[in-house]
Amino acid sequence: MSVSLKAMRYFNLAVARGSIAEAADELNIAASAVSAAIGQVEDAFGLTLITRQRSRGITANANGRLIAQKFARLLEEYQSILADGAELKGSLSGALRVGYYAPVAPAFLPRIFSQFLPADSDAVLHLQECNNDTAQDGLLKGDFDVILFVAEGAQAAIDFDVLIKAPPYCLLHASHRLAERTSVSLAEIAQERLVVLDRPVVAAYYQRLFESFAPDITIAAFANSTEMVRSLVGAGHGCAVLNMQPLTAISYGGEGLIAVPISDPLPPLTLAIAYDRTRPRRIVQHFVDSCRAQFAEDGPHQCVVPGQSATA
């Protein structure tokens, strides 16, 4: 059984007016279209719902009145859904679901939200840290409205914008012998014990760096979070190579850290943003625009260590 919304509307107007002709005039359509809609409804239910009287118009029987009442509720709900959808698209409210594969996202995401969301906003933020592939899969499946991820691992189906390119830098304990240097080479770093960030995409990236520039290295520890890497370096377990830096030079353990540029021309990692561009809700578009503005203005100064060298 199938009844179109248009047939419901035509049927209900004809019942309310008691006349196919009057309903047709009000809808500015042919009377035959209204009559056909009534026929569609009756065929769908296998019932006679309307009594047709040549000189006195039409009258709905008991079943017809019941069906008309139910159609009225459905049509009202349909209009309400359309209104809610229009409001959702144009408002800065509702849920904003962001998936991110960006270890230092806590350093910039809260500030970005505060830039475009009013203080009394009833928007609900759903933030999920995930790996690069999970973020992209989530966007394609509709689990996320927006994702932040490393573009070097981009899937073919993902259309993205570059936010920033971050060359690698060396992270050292504040008292390390290399901490006062203006730059260090990858060969010098390879002579130290290393704490390695072991996350998808970036782990392979760091492996390629050392294979190309300094193949002989000693690994002190692997860690799958940036803050654990920073804390291990702060506790003196070795040095690390990272890309984006947070705004603090203190580890979770309270030790001082120093970020030193690497003198070798090394390939950067690219932080990118992706979302469904076809019909983005207002809150999604504002978030994307705020991310672009934030990284265009502050990204090169706050997220990237000054003096780093990079290849294209």
Q: Flag whether pLDDT at 309 surpasses 70.
A: no
Cα–Cα distance, 242 to 194 (Å, whole number): 11
Q: What are the start-end ranges of the H helices in 142-185?
A: none
pLDDT at 233: 96
Say what the pLDDT of residue 75 is: 83
pLDDT at 195 over 90: yes
Give percent above pLDDT 90 in the chain.
47
Across 215-228, average pLDDT? 90
Q: Is the pLDDT of residue 311 over 60?
A: no
Provide the 10 A C-beta neighbour count for residue 286.
18
Q: What is the mean pLDDT of residues 207-216?
A: 80
pLDDT at 83 over 80: no
Distance CA 201, CA 131 (A): 9
pLDDT surpassing 60 at residue 90: no
Say what the pTM is: 0.70
Say whether pLDDT at 87 is over 60. no
pLDDT at 95 over 60: yes
- Residue 85: its pLDDT value, please? 62
Q: Cα(65)–Cα(71) distance, rounded to whole angstroms? A: 10
Strand partners, 150: 271
Question: In terms of C-beta density within 10 A (0-12 exposed, 13-18 middle, 19 or more buried), how is residue 30 classed?
Answer: exposed
User: Exposed (0-12), middle (13-18) or buried (19+): which is 306, by Cβ within 10 Å?
Assistant: exposed
User: Domains, the chain, ranges and CATH?
Assistant: 5-90 (1.10.10.10), 95-161+272-299 (3.40.190.10), 168-261 (3.40.190.10)
Lowest mean pLDDT, pick from 102-106, 147-151, 249-253: 102-106
Residues in the chain: 312
| pLDDT-based confidence at residue 308 (cuts at 50, 70, 90) | low
pLDDT band at 103 (very low <50, low <70, confident <90, very high): confident
Mean pLDDT lowest for which of 1-15, 23-37, 298-312?
298-312
The closest alpha carbon to 111, from 272, 297, 240, 311, belongs to 297
Instruction: Pick the range with the lowest mean pLDDT from 116-120, 188-192, 264-268, 296-300.
Output: 296-300
Q: What is the pLDDT of residue 73?
A: 87
Give the list of residues 6+ apart from residue 60 with CB closer than 8 angstroms, or none: 15, 49, 50, 51, 68
- 8 A C-beta contact, residue 261 and residue 166: no
Residue 282 predicted with pLDDT over 90 = no
Instruction: With a cut of 70, say whether residue 220 has pLDDT above it.
Output: yes
Give pLDDT, residue 1. Answer: 64
pLDDT > 70 fraction of the chain, expressed in percent and rounded: 94
